[in-house]
């Protein structure tokens, strides 16, 4: 007698196939690949490492050709970035935008699968009106350049901090800050017309630091908790990530942009930090990242966007040992420079705790500077502000370290136009001069906290005003 396959058996079989496909094809899981470090493995080794995981997208903060080439023919989606300092030129000159695309996109795509260009990082919330108002013209010029070269399938957007919201609790009341509404409306019209995403950096870690209660920690780590009720919708939120993303969804909906997709450009949790950094521990980092990945894989979505997972880029692939600031800034990496896992959150395709990629000797590149001075340990005493009003490089610091400092400071949303061609501080056109200006700008905008004048122990506070001719360094009494 012929056997009969029951419909329920077919359903179970296809459910199994779907689950298997989700495990090995997780387009919603990406990772940030920062390079403010001097000990990173070569891009070719990193490409092999990524292929051994279920990570399918990588976000770069610039457009490093070595990395873009290494990811060719891997199928891994690549996000590249235009720096904040490029925004004025991109906005003012369509030819500059076309040259940027010709240099950073055209030689590599489609062998290297570039899927998104982010113009600037957290520009709108940087309190720099001039840069903010040039953002959308810069984005439009990049898009026009792509279209003219038949590369219009690549999307263009920018990345926002959660400070773009004036209100986020409860999530249904999410509202953008009125100071940014004019630029946001113009940007969202562009997003809507081109199908590009609204990209955001939600960090439950920082939410916990501002409210370090045990119940808040459980809520942030996707652990069992009582939940938080949104009384407007009667929805009970069980984790901070969903609440933060849905607050953005509500803000977009309230402006009439229900079709604009959200992408999480950064989220993560440090596995260690300074003594006063509450919550930064290996246990918490593993819980957050592991539970976030499981949440994304469940495809349950958020209460306001059910049944799908928002594209989410974990922060970060590696630690960046040249980053300034508190110890946690250098402790977000999921992998070590020797390509082993810092801790296992279930990203490996083969289920092993360590990837199968061979260990390699780290190399240095222009964006991964050599000659690194000793970095600050998490238990180092806080530097004293003394009478210093300006933050400047120490004597004898290498150009590589200065370049890393320059890239970091100007990549934080600061207005570095003064050291761009034609700017008041462009001359002398040296790394040392430009880094000095940028490092001081970072310090002044950081509330003159002595920690922000550390730069891996390559900076010092000075009471001597370094301004010269028409170049004025911001400063004041500490």
In angstroms, the CA 420 to CA 431 distance is 12
pLDDT value for 476: 62
Mean pLDDT computed over 341-348: 95
Specify the 3-state DSSP secondary structure of 428.
coil
Q: How many other C-beta atoms can be found within 10 angstroms of the C-beta atom of residue 428?
A: 10
Reported as a pLDDT band with limits 50, 70 and 90, residue 76 is: very high
In angstroms, the CA 346 to CA 53 distance is 9
| Residue 330 or 384, more confident | 330
pLDDT value for 351: 52
pLDDT single digits (tens) 394-436: 988 888 888 888 877 887 667 888 998 889 999 999 999 999 9
- Per CATH, the number for 29-335 is 3.20.20.80
Which H, E and C letters describe 305-324, residue by residue? Answer: EECCCCCEEECCCECCCCCC
Highest mean pLDDT among 116-130, 134-148, 449-463: 134-148
pLDDT value for 10: 37
Let me know how many helices (H) and strands (E) the chain has, helices first.
13, 16
| Residue 364 or 183, more confident | 183
pTM of full prediction above 0.85: no
Q: How many other C-beta atoms can be found within 10 angstroms of the C-beta atom of residue 371?
A: 11
Reported as a pLDDT band with limits 50, 70 and 90, residue 18 is: very low
pLDDT value for 388: 59
- Quote the mean pLDDT of the chain: 86
pLDDT value for 15: 40
- Please state, for a pLDDT cut of 70, what percent of the chain lies above it: 85
- Please state, for a pLDDT cut of 90, what percent of the chain lies above it: 72
Q: Are 472 and 424 in contact (CB under 8 A)?
A: yes
Question: Residue 163 pLDDT more than 70?
Answer: yes
Q: What would the DSSP string read from start to end of 240-278? A: HHHHHHHHHHHHHHHTT-TTPPEEEEEE---S---TT-T
In angstroms, the CA 326 to CA 378 distance is 8
| Angle formed by the axes of helices 181-194 and 129-148, nearest 10° | 10
Active-site residues: which are they? 122, 266
pLDDT value for 286: 96
In angstroms, the CA 271 to CA 402 distance is 27
pLDDT value for 304: 97
In angstroms, the CA 217 to CA 139 distance is 38
Mean pLDDT computed over 254-278: 97
> Domain limits of the chain?
29-335, 390-462
pLDDT single digits (tens) 217-263: 999 999 989 999 999 999 999 999 999 999 999 999 999 999 999 99
pLDDT value for 26: 66
pLDDT value for 401: 84
């Amino acid at each position: 007698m012929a056997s009969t396959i029951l419909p329920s058996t077919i359903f179970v079989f296809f459910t199994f196939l779907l689950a298997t496909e989700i495990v090995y094809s997780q387009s919603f899981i990406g990772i940030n690949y920062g390079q403010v470090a001097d000990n990173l493995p070569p891009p070719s080794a990193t490409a092999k490492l990524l292929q051994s995981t279920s990570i399918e997208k990588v976000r770069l903060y610039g457009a490093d050709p070595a990395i873009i080439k290494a990811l060719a023919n891997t199928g891994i989606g690549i996000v590249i970035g235009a720096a904040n300092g490029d925004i004025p030129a991109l906005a003012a000159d369509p030819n500059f935008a076309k040259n940027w695309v010709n240099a950073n996109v055209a030689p590599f795509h489609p062998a290297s699968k570039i899927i998104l260009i982010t113009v600037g990082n957290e520009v709108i919330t940087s309190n720099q009106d001039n840069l903010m108002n040039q953002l959308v013209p810069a984005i439009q010029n990049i898009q026009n350049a792509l279209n003219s070269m038949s590369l219009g399938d690549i999307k263009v957007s920018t990345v926002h901090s959660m400070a773009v919201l004036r209100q986020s609790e409860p999530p249904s009341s999410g509202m953008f800050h009125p100071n940014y509404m004019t630029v946001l409306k113009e940007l969202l019209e562009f997003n809507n017309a081109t199908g590009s995403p609204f990209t955001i950096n939600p960090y439950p870690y920082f939410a916990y630091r501002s409210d370090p209660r045990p119940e808040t920690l459980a809520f942030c780590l996707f652990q069992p908790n009582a939940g938080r009720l949104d009384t407007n919708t009667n929805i009970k939120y069980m984790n901070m990530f969903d609440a933060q993303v849905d607050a953005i969804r509500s803000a977009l909906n309230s402006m009439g942009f229900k079709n604009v997709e959200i992408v999480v450009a950064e989220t993560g949790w440090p596995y260690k930090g300074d003594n006063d950094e509450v919550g930064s521990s290996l246990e918490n980092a593993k819980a957050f990242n592991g539970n976030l990945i499981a949440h994304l894989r469940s495809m349950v979505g958020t209460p306001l966007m059910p049944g799908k997972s928002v594209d989410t880029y974990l922060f970060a692939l590696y630690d960046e040992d040249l980053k300034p600031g508190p110890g946690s800034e250098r402790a977000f990496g999921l992998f070590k420079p020797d390509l082993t896992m810092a801790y296992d959150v279930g990203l490996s395709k083969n289920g092993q705790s360590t990837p199968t990629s061979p260990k390699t000797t780290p190399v240095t590149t222009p964006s991964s500077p050599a000659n690194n001075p000793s970095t600050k340990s998490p238990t180092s005493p806080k530097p004293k502000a003394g009478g210093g009003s300006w933050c400047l490089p120490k004597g004898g610091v290498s150009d590589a370290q200065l370049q890393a400092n320059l890239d970091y400071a100007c990549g934080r949303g600061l207005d570095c136009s003064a050291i761009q061609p034609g700017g008041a501080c462009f001359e002398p056109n040296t790394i040392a001069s430009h880094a000095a200006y940028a490092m001081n700008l970072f310090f002044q905008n950081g509330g003159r906290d002595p920690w922000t004048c550390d730069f891996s122990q390559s900076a010092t506070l000075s009471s001597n005003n370094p301004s010269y001719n028409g170049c004025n360094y911001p400063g004041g009494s500490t």
